[in-house]
Structure 1
């Protein structure tokens, strides 16, 4: 494995998102002097938060899988969940899905519970087909994780040069994992609605299920079989815990430190400068900025990248009594429209051909159902369904996510369009039985492709470069930067890709490019067996 050239004792990490914190903790664990520079006043990056008038809500990722990766990071820093005050709750079910015909399905990670649920909504034969699908997803995940996700590639030829990777590649070929994910899932489970539950996750990788490679079956396996978790206090609690562990281990974390320039001597970065005039000398740099923002740091961006679809995300509050009357009561609800292939044709189209979903599939997130401390009691007179007058009313945070095309696919005027489109989405939900959402959902913050673009994200998408074959695995933008001897990339735009587990791995892989193989570095607490399996609460 190639590593950066020359000395690497002083490392500057640009960005305190999950990838930056992961890289920083691993590097600090090797005894290096590490400084993290973050332009915001809090850690988290895309796992951020929006502060409303009397509440706080996650403004980025809301789905956590593989929490064992967080345990590994904490252990490197000599900490545990308990020592940093981080409580991670397993969601059961992980999701509830609702289809246009009114069918509701709970998605369980336990195989027997999920088989029973499939039998309930279909029949015992469908439950057996589900078990076969689950076995296939597990085999894909096990072949892929260690050799293709948690690994650095120096060349695509590594897949055939290295025996372990060659064996994993052969297994994936036998599994048919280089065919298309959607059709494979459909053949195994043979039910169009159920197939959506185990293939919509391809959107996380920026692809329509019918176009995504079967290797992305690893994502629905993590999502529907290994389970979805929630950190008490919100996803932002993970970033806070990692940041605290890093500084407790001796690292330096500077907030409101907006990096504006990196100085180079020849091909080596020498100094990182912030907008307030400070200079940070360095032997190596880890840059976690979006891949669309690399040129501002004197780094080349790969040409011809195709971006993932984007999203419109509304954050606000809703009266709890209104939300409790909706057709589904769950932390995560996926409300599917009737259309499926057409939806992806619209949002995942090529340049200039994208369109808004004509029949939306939407994600509603109600974190207070898992974390009651997020409920809000506001002074407000109202009459409950029993006719009783109350002086206060309970509210809860709510997020609504609607996938949409990125700005390359559809250069829409979001500044003017956004409020009208939000009203249309809320009216659609109202028609689907979510009574009162159009009148009572108080939206305090709305993200669109335009706001993502303003934050420097590629083509206005928070999901970075799509996982086309030519942008996947060893073909994805490398974390070693051409023409720069001591600069490494981390984050969703580089290897291994998009998602909370993958960006955590990306930070680890970036640290390995500086420090070498971290598997031989000492873990300061918690044994390896405890790290390998996530705690169950």
Structure 2
């Protein structure tokens, strides 16, 4: 119900952060209109339907479902009302160049037994110490630095800052993991996640081990119907709670009067008045809409990008689990190639997701889906002509996978779709990366672009470009924090 004399809150973008924001706002009694340029909700958790194969084009790993529960709970619903979440056991299968495999379980005892089998009892003890450290790190970071507004360095001056320092959170990730497990395979399993934060493990803050906690301790889930089901479920809950979600309705500009945004103007020319606006577009696009040019002494640094190869096949392979991390022999050199040299991996480490293992309905009978993610340089770091090199790199990835046990992969492909950094750029993502800004120290916490916009009294940012950062859990939190700012500004 609209308060007397108050226009709705307009949320620009029906991605996961925008939908989470809308749910929390509706729960606080605000009227909400969500404007989305695409024909379906979900944002980067996108979708492509081809020849009977239902492809997720964005994230494939879902952790921390309690954050979804919180968003649905704001409007009196539960995750179970809207989604069928399947816990994945194992969360991942890690496959190595020497032919060994380690299943990554989130259950403490199962994983300790698996580590003992693969690397011996001493490493199993090290794993238990590592798990304990990850858990303590997560608890400190979540309550004070992730699920909390952090606008200035002064906001870090909390008791948990001392606890985080005592846990070694301001050291480096690779040594922190390596001090607890010696087996190189285990070190990779618990540190590869830093690449998606845009930093090599040797240079990443140990605090970013919290991502490994989410994957390897908290659990990994998959929604029946694919990750696309998240956006559809959240949009459905927004609509049921009285909000409006308008798809295929892109915002062309934001109308301003002084320091206030007064309306969103769509590409069709319609003016949608607003009391407050939450913008979830990629950061440069958000600032263009707001007519704001950020001033920073050092240019923002973006994360590496990714090449994603979607393959619909007429067969599958026993060695593949739902998520399989296929590690090459190279490790440190891989990060150097992507981040510093700006070229593709010569010995790639790949995430291969087979969603049809959990939900066969995503492909025609007797067929399977593969989602192959290869980290790659973003367009600022690399000078790769993807129009020319894309098809060659596709063949390289398929050849590598065949050599690693997926024999006959190329001949089994019945449909495919490839996404390169150039394609991400055409979608409006800065420097052609879906992972937004890198999580360097200078772009973390209060040093990351804030969710408030200087010179604008009623605009808030949400999404992976602002705090707390990149990933499905953090963008859900970003939406919640944005809603809290709106409510605080407007009372109630």
Please say if 1:309 is aligned against 2:304. Answer: yes
Cα deviation 1:309-343 (Å, max 9, x = unaligned): 000001130112xx225xx1300010000010000
Bigger shift: 95-104 or 424-433?
A: 424-433
SS of residue in 2 equivalent to 1:348: helix
Which residue number corresponds to residue 391 of structure 1?
none
Which residue number corresponds to residue 456 of structure 1?
428
**Please, which of 293, 299, 307 is the counterpart of residue 300 of structure 1?**
293
Q: Contact 1:8/1:284 (CA < 8 Å) preserved in 2?
A: no
CA distance in 1, matches of 2:119, 2:404: 22
**Please, which of 168, 172, 176 is the counterpart of residue 168 of structure 2?**
176
Cα deviation 1:81-102 (Å, max 9, x = unaligned): 3333x11010000000000000
Cα deviation 1:458-514 (Å, max 9, x = unaligned): 211000000000100111100001111111000000000000000000001111111
SS of residue in 1 equivalent to 2:367: strand
Which residue number corresponds to residue 94 of structure 1?
91
**Please, which of 62, 67, 70 is the counterpart of residue 69 of structure 1?**
67
Flag the 1:302–1:403 CA change in 2: closer, same or farther, 3 A.
farther
Please say if 1:289 is aligned against 2:261. Answer: no
TM-score (norm 1): 0.88
SS of residue in 1 equivalent to 2:93: strand
1:517 Cα deviation from its structure 2 partner: 9.9
SS of residue in 2 equivalent to 1:488: strand
1:370 Cα deviation from its structure 2 partner: 0.8
Which residue number corresponds to residue 217 of structure 2?
225
Flag the 1:40–1:458 CA change in 2: closer, same or farther, 3 A.
same
CA distance in 1, matches of 2:194, 2:353: 19
SS of residue in 2 equivalent to 1:57: strand
Please say if 1:403 is aligned against 2:401. Answer: no
Which residue number corresponds to residue 243 of structure 2?
251
Which residue number corresponds to residue 133 of structure 1?
130
Cα deviation 1:245-286 (Å, max 9, x = unaligned): 111000011011011110111111011011112110111100
Which residue number corresponds to residue 326 of structure 2?
335
Which residue number corresponds to residue 28 of structure 1?
26
**Please, which of 317, 320, 333 is the counterpart of residue 324 of structure 1?**
317
Which residue number corresponds to residue 337 of structure 2?
346
SS of residue in 1 equivalent to 2:62: coil
CA distance in 2, matches of 1:209, 1:247: 42
Which residue number corresponds to residue 259 of structure 2?
267
Which residue number corresponds to residue 109 of structure 2?
112
CA distance in 2, matches of 1:364, 1:250: 39
Q: Contact 1:364/1:401 (CA < 8 Å) preserved in 2?
A: yes
Please say if 1:500 is aligned against 2:488. Answer: no
Flag the 1:436–1:419 CA change in 2: closer, same or farther, 3 A.
same
Please say if 1:207 is aligned against 2:199. Answer: yes
CA distance in 2, matches of 1:286, 1:294: 10
Which residue number corresponds to residue 357 of structure 1?
345
Bigger shift: 480-489 or 292-301?
A: 292-301
Q: Contact 2:280/2:286 (CA < 8 Å) preserved in 1?
A: no
Which residue number corresponds to residue 232 of structure 2?
240
1:120 Cα deviation from its structure 2 partner: 0.4
Q: How many residues are paired up? A: 485
Which residue number corresponds to residue 526 of structure 1?
none
Bigger shift: 107-116 or 422-431?
A: 422-431
Flag the 1:184–1:436 CA change in 2: closer, same or farther, 3 A.
same
CA distance in 2, matches of 1:8, 1:460: 39
SS of residue in 2 equivalent to 1:132: helix
CA distance in 2, matches of 1:372, 1:243: 25
1:302 Cα deviation from its structure 2 partner: 5.3
1:374 Cα deviation from its structure 2 partner: 2.4
CA distance in 1, matches of 2:440, 2:120: 36
Structure 1 gap ranges (5+): 1-6, 161-165, 378-393, 522-537
Bigger shift: 73-82 or 264-273?
A: 73-82
Q: Contact 1:291/1:301 (CA < 8 Å) preserved in 2?
A: no
1:301 Cα deviation from its structure 2 partner: 4.1
Which residue number corresponds to residue 359 of structure 2?
371
Please say if 1:45 is aligned against 2:33. Answer: no
CA distance in 1, matches of 2:442, 2:99: 39
CA distance in 1, matches of 2:411, 2:398: 9
CA distance in 1, matches of 2:262, 2:123: 60
TM-score (norm 2): 0.96
Which residue number corresponds to residue 15 of structure 2?
17
Which residue number corresponds to residue 124 of structure 1?
121
1:122 Cα deviation from its structure 2 partner: 1.2
**Please, which of 195, 202, 220 is the counterpart of residue 187 of structure 2?**
195
Alignment of 1:383-422 (within 5 A): 394-422=366-394
Which residue number corresponds to residue 408 of structure 2?
436
CA distance in 2, matches of 1:302, 1:104: 48
1:430 Cα deviation from its structure 2 partner: 1.2
Which residue number corresponds to residue 144 of structure 2?
147
